[in-house]
Amino acid sequence: MKALIAMLALVAGAGLAAAEQVPLPRPRPALPAAPSAPETFAEAAAGLDLSGITSDPTPCNRRLEAMGAIVLMPRLIGPGACGGEDMIELQAVRLPDDSRVDIRPAPMLRCPMAESLAAWLRDEVAPRLVATLGSPLSAVENYDSYSCRSRNRVAGAKLSEHAMGNAIDVRAFHLADGRRVAPTDVNVDEPLRTDLRDSACRRFNTVLGPGDPYHSAHIHLDIRERRGGYRICQWDVLPPSPPAAAIPLPRPRPVAANAPR
C-alpha cells in the first residue's frame, strides 16, 4: 500500500513538472491610442495646399449667375479620386426672354460643365423646341449628375466623369403646355432629334445616347478633355416606329344551305 501511494505521488509530481514547462502565451500588445479629432480647420487640412481656396465666386460662377439660379457648393474631396473644385448646384436656367427652366432634380456639377449645359439649353434646345413643337421649354429631367462611381457602374472600370462633376444625363424636356419630350423617343420628331444630337456634339466633348447599350433611355453629356481635342458623338437617331399593321377582319361565315330565309 505504501508502495502504491509512493508511485502515485511520483506520477503526480512528474505531471506538475511537465505542466510547469509549458510556456504561457505572451501578453497582448497594448492597442494604439485612437487619433484625436482635429480641433481646427488648419489641422484637418494638414498637407493640403490651401493657397487657392477662397469663398469668393469664380469668374465662371459670375457668368453662370447671369443666366441661371445656382448655389455655390463646398469643394468636394474624395472618397478616392472623386470630387472637384468649383462645384455648384444648378437649380434653373434663365432664357433670353427671362423665363425660367427648372432642372429637376437640381444637378451638382463643376461650374464649367454647368455653364456649358446652361448655354446649350438657352441657345439651342429651347429655340429648337419652340420652332418645332410650338411650346416653350419649362423644365429638364436630370437622370444623374455628380456620383462617385466607375463608368456605367461597372466594377473595376475607370472612374466616370460623373465622379468629377463633369457630366450629366438628360432624360427628357418638359414643355409649358404639359408635354414631355424624351430625346431618345423614336416617336418624337426625327429632324428635331437630329438637330439636338448635332448641337450637343458641337457643344460637349462626349455625347452618348441610343446605340450605346448603357444610354438607350437618356443622353449622357460631359466635357472630358482628350488628347488632340478628340470627341465622342455616339447617339443614333433611330427612325420612328412603323405603324402597326392593320389586322384583317375574319371572313363572314358562309350561309348554310338549309338555313331559313
Does the residue 48 lie in any domain? Answer: no
Q: How far is the C-alpha of 9 from the C-alpha of 115, rounded, in Å?
A: 94
Tell me phi and psi for residue 92, to 5 degrees.
-160, 160
Does the residue 240 lie in any domain? Answer: no
Does the residue 156 lie in any domain? Answer: yes
Q: How far is the C-alpha of 13 from the C-alpha of 158, rounded, in Å?
A: 70
Closest among 101, 173, 99, 96 to 133, alpha carbons compared: 173
Does the residue 147 lie in any domain? Answer: yes
Does the residue 134 lie in any domain? Answer: yes
With 0.85 as the threshold, say if the pTM is over it: no
Does the residue 172 lie in any domain? Answer: yes
Count structural domains, the chain: 1
3-state SS record for the chain: CHHHHHHHHHHHHHHHHHHHHCCCCCCCCCCCCCCCCCCCHHHHCCCCCCCCCCCCCCHHHHHHHCCEEEEECCCEECCCCCEECCEEEEEEEECCCCCEEEEECCCEEEHHHHHHHHHHHHHHHHHHHHHHHCCCEEEEEEEECCCCCEHHHCCCCCECHHHHCCEEEEEEEEECCCCEECCCCCCCCHHHHHHHHHHHHHHCCEEECCCCCCCCCCEEEECCCCHHHCCEEECCCCCCCCCCCCCCCCCCCCCCCCCCC
Domain membership of residue 108 as a residue range: 58-234
Q: How far is the C-alpha of 107 from the C-alpha of 117, rounded, in Å?
A: 11
The CA–CA distances, whole Å, from 74 to 60, 79, 83, 108 equal 15, 15, 10, 11
Does the residue 31 lie in any domain? Answer: no
Does the residue 258 lie in any domain? Answer: no
Q: What is the pLDDT along the chain (261 residues), one digit of tens a residue?
A: 555 555 545 545 555 454 456 666 676 666 555 455 555 545 555 555 556 666 688 999 999 999 999 999 877 776 778 888 899 999 999 999 999 999 999 999 999 999 999 999 999 999 999 999 999 999 999 999 999 988 888 887 788 999 999 999 999 999 999 999 999 999 999 999 999 999 999 999 999 999 998 999 999 999 999 999 999 999 999 999 777 666 677 777 777 666 555
